[in-house]
Amino acid sequence: MMLQICFIQALIYNTLNPLLINKLSISLTNINYLIISSSRIGGHIHIHKIALESQLKYLGIFIDQNVHWGLQIQHISNKLMKHVGIINKL
């Protein structure tokens, strides 16, 4: 447990130190997090003032907490249907 706390403190320091040096800030209203876990195990963590999401879009790919591809497939399918509809009208 103590090792985890030290790791988290080091992670926070390494993340925030460059921000403080360069006088930058982080907007907590635009930050969210996702816990990726097996559907059997499940993870529980709470980060104050940062929203927990069950799914999010990261680098153009939709990811859910169980790493299922249903959201991504649905998104691509919707884009294809829109473009197929446009081509059929031509």
Task: Output 25 or 5, whichever has higher pLDDT.
Answer: 25
* 51-52 and 32-33 beta bridge pairing: parallel
The domain limits of the chain are 2-89
Question: pLDDT class for 77, splitting at 50, 70, 90?
Answer: very high
54: CB partners within 8 A, 6+ apart: 34, 64, 65
Q: What is the pLDDT of residues 21-61, one digit of tens each?
A: 888 777 767 777 777 766 565 556 667 777 778 888 888 88
Backbone angles phi, psi at 46, to 5 degrees: -130, 125
Q: What Cα–Cα distance (Å) separates residue 63 from each residue in 20, 28, 51, 66, 73?
A: 31, 21, 16, 8, 11
Please check whether residue 34 is in contact with residue 54, taking contact to mean a CB–CB distance below 8 angstroms: yes
pTM of the model: 0.52
